[in-house]
Structure 1
Amino acid sequence: METRVKVTIRCNICGEKFVLRGRREKGAIDTGFKQCICNNANDLDIEEHSL
């Protein structure tokens, strides 16, 4: 079963913030987010909110 969630992603390098909608499937969240505009793909704070 997939559940819709709202995800806030903040880059710890440049401070850019992204608010996305995604799906929680089998314990993982899929938003399609790959990397920040500063090319950071690993040093991110991810916060999940239910819709």
Structure 2
Amino acid sequence: MRVKVRIYCKRCGERFVLRGRRETNRIETGFKRCLCDNADEFIFEEEAL
């Protein structure tokens, strides 16, 4: 299922809006890390397309 994902960085406050695929208990967007080199501290919100 396709979803719209909003990703917020807890360190610098940068926001990203991506489209991804909902897999069993996980969302695959290809997003790896923020511009501030943060790879762990994020808030994810999803919305069905």
Divergent runs of 4+, >2 A? none
SS in structure 2 at match of 1:32: coil
| Distance of 1:10 and 1:28 partners within structure 2 | 17
Count of paired positions: 49
1:9 aligned partner: 7
2:48 aligned partner: 50
Taking only aligned residues, the RMSD between alpha carbons, in angstroms, comes to: 0.6
Calculate the TM-score normalised by the size of structure 1: 0.91
| Distance of 2:15 and 2:35 partners within structure 1 | 10
Rg (Cα) greater in structure:
1
| Distance of 1:40 and 1:22 partners within structure 2 | 20
What are structure 1's unaligned runs of at least 5 residues? none
What are structure 2's unaligned runs of at least 5 residues? none
Identity among equivalent positions (%) equals 59
